[in-house]
Amino acid sequence: MRQSKLYTKTRKESPADEVSKNAILLTRAGFIHKEMAGVYTFLPLGLRVLTKIENIIRRQMDTIGNELVMSSLSPRELWEKTGRADVVDVLMKTMPANKASEEKSTNSYILNPTHEELITPIAAEYARSYKDLPAAFYQIQTKFRNEARAKSGLLRGREFRMKDLYSFHRDEADLKEYYEEAKQVYMSIYRELGLGDDTFITVAGGGDFTKEFSHEFQTVTDAGEDVIYLDRKNNIAYNKEVVTEENAKRLSVDFQSLEQVKACEVGNIFPLGTKFTQAFEYTYTDEEGKQQEVHMGCYGIGPSRLMGVITEKFADEKGLVWPASIAPFSLHLICLSKEKDSEASKIAEELYNKLTAAHVEVLFDDREEQAGSKFADSDLIGIPMRVVVSDKSLEKGGVEIKERTSDTGEIVTVEQLLKTYTPNCE
């Protein structure tokens, strides 16, 4: 992409109404646009990052489930069936805008904060026999929650992205087996996102779902709202909320010997058991033709929150720093010559054409800006590798390449650069 054709711009000033590092930097760099507290538009650069995060999640989820997309709106009756219509405090209900329908349908729709109420009847329709189980469906979708404290940018949205997976099983043992596999698939996702070393499987409460523990995936960061007790030796953590004398006995852990750190919940999985399947009278037919209870699990992960967490963890004083796996582009190609027919301009154009033809994702700064402001923008946007073509670099024998996180670059020839990034061409 040519930067002259990127219609969004960076800004020097921090937005006045943001306090979190992720919202400030992502806004300044032109990745997100605030609509109201906890509600953001993903601008072209931000969408590229979000899509990459979601595709990493999607590839992993495809190994354990079928993708679908459920509706964002649901009828209130489904939530009444599970008793959650008036219990979930973050539930958003729609108010009809037109007067005529007001009397008939006030509050009749829910903007889904999660999808157990929708998926359970769907699974009940398709997975009816022991032969159909286990079955697992997932989606990557926008969720709505009326969060009280929405001042942490992408970490806590009122409208945010979630991947949610739901699995259905013939018995508890089968659910348990799948649940353990899902844990490992989740950890692969965090590793691919560059968060593997700082993300811990964390024993947490079951919420309003289950008396059993659930498992969170907590990434250590000062920006997080949770406190976890971290057992590095055994590679496991405990959410502060489960640190009680009773649980110390139940889990045989000495909580006081563990390190307490701040962390952000980037995923949460629950062994739901039969709570939702019972509410929808969902049973399956076993080998003997008898009806049996279906055991269910749910598995959530937050792509937009992850984008915020990655920003918080990796950004430096100059701006964003993206891991290569989710960077909006692989290379930031910067031409410092303002004359269109200069040697530097010609070489930059040629590089851009050859690299993009080889499917390398290049952001090409072809604008007529000062070098200083091009470099500042490049640092702010945070593409992993910068390539500068200028009269000076050509005098030194080629182009200057520099990693975003390094202070010094090096000169390589144009041929060397092409060979590195397009090894299969020419």
Give the interface with ligand ATP as residue ranges (CB under 6 A).
Answer: 114, 145, 147, 156-157, 160, 162, 265-268, 300-302, 304-305
> Would you say 220 and 262 are in contact if contact means Cβ atoms under 8 Å apart?
yes
CB of 202 to ligand ATP, least distance (A): 11
Selection from ligand ATP, Mg ion, none that 162 binds (CB < 5 to 8 A by kind) is ligand ATP
CB of 39 to Mg ion, least distance (A): 20
Minimum CB distance to ligand ATP smaller for 21 or for 145? 145
CB of 219 to ligand ATP, least distance (A): 10
> Per-residue x/- marks for Mg ion, 228-267, CB under 5 A?
----------------------------------------
Q: Contact between 268 and Mg ion (CB under 5 A)?
A: yes
Minimum CB distance to ligand ATP smaller for 19 or for 425? 19
CB of 124 to ligand ATP, least distance (A): 22
CB of 203 to ligand ATP, least distance (A): 14
Minimum CB distance to Mg ion smaller for 204 or for 401? 204
CB of 267 to ligand ATP, least distance (A): 5
Minimum CB distance to ligand ATP smaller for 2 or for 240? 240
Selection from ligand ATP, Mg ion, none that 271 binds (CB < 5 to 8 A by kind) is none
Q: Contact between 304 and Mg ion (CB under 5 A)?
A: no
Selection from Mg ion, ligand ATP, none that 31 binds (CB < 5 to 8 A by kind) is none
Q: Residue number with the shortest CB distance to Mg ion?
A: 268
Selection from Mg ion, ligand ATP, none that 385 binds (CB < 5 to 8 A by kind) is none
> Would you say 380 and 28 are in contact if contact means Cβ atoms under 8 Å apart?
yes
**Integer Cα distance of 168 and 279 in angstroms:** 14
Selection from ligand ATP, Mg ion, none that 166 binds (CB < 5 to 8 A by kind) is none
Minimum CB distance to ligand ATP smaller for 162 or for 326? 162
Minimum CB distance to Mg ion smaller for 10 or for 268? 268
Selection from ligand ATP, Mg ion, none that 147 binds (CB < 5 to 8 A by kind) is ligand ATP
Minimum CB distance to Mg ion smaller for 202 or for 268? 268
- The 10 Å Cβ neighbour count of residue 222 is 11
CB of 268 to Mg ion, least distance (A): 3
CB of 114 to ligand ATP, least distance (A): 6
Minimum CB distance to ligand ATP smaller for 1 or for 85? 85
Selection from ligand ATP, Mg ion, none that 156 binds (CB < 5 to 8 A by kind) is ligand ATP
Selection from Mg ion, ligand ATP, none that 160 binds (CB < 5 to 8 A by kind) is ligand ATP
CB of 270 to ligand ATP, least distance (A): 8
**Integer Cα distance of 118 and 82 in angstroms:** 11
Handedness of CA 109, 111, 114, 119 (dihedral sign): positive
CB of 1 to ligand ATP, least distance (A): 28
> Would you say 286 and 292 are in contact if contact means Cβ atoms under 8 Å apart?
yes
Pairing assessment for the beta strands 135-144 and 199-204 based on DSSP bridges: unpaired
**Integer Cα distance of 355 and 414 in angstroms:** 11
Is-cis flag, bond preceding 271, omega within 30? no
Minimum CB distance to ligand ATP smaller for 156 or for 354? 156
Binding-residue total with Mg ion (CB under 5 A): 1
Q: Residue number with the shortest CB distance to ligand ATP?
A: 302
Residues that bind Mg ion (CB under 5 A): 268
